[in-house]
Amino acid sequence: MRRTARLAEVAAALLEEPYGRHWGYKLMRSSGVRAGVLYPMLTRMLEEGWVTDGWEDRAQIAEKRPPRRYYELTDLGRRELAAAVRTAQIAETARPAIPRPEWA
């Protein structure tokens, strides 16, 4: 899986709760990544074994809505995503600062 800036953003959102359940819409909001990028990325994470998925128990839903699909990080996923976040942080700090022009 390619280590992109979007992946780092999703990884950071997932690692806020490394042992919790994550929902598609909430993840979209917390990471700030578009749905068109996030959902295919979640599918790839599932294929790589970084996350597992499941469905909410219908009996435990108080509101009138269909059960949502949740994603949970696996050990492999926690390691890989933490590495992706670290790589993004290193790339961010290593980026040379743009020199301020004299007239500014």
Partner 1 sequence: MVEVVELLQNAGLGLVLLAVLVFGVVPGLVLRMLVLIYPKDDPRRRDLLADLYDAPFLERPLFVGAQFETVLFEGVPHRLRTLKRRGARPPAEPETIRPVPEPLPALPTRQPVPPRECALPGCTNIVTEPRRLYCSPAHRTAARKMRHAARMDLL
Q: Which of residues 21, 39, 72, 87 is near partner 1 by CB under 8 A? A: 39
Q: Which of residues 59, 62, 66, 99 is near partner 1 by CB under 8 A? A: 66
- Specify burial of residue 77 (Cβ count, 10 A radius: 0-12, 13-18, 19+): buried
Q: How far is the CB of 85 from partner 1 (least distance, A)?
A: 24
> Does 65 sit near partner 1 (CB under 8 A)?
yes
The answer to whether 51 and 42 have CB atoms below 8 angstroms apart is: yes
The answer to whether 81 and 14 have CB atoms below 8 angstroms apart is: yes
> Does 101 sit near partner 1 (CB under 8 A)?
no
Site for partner 1 in 3-32 (CB under 8 A): 23-26
Q: How is residue 90 written in tokens?
A: 């290193």
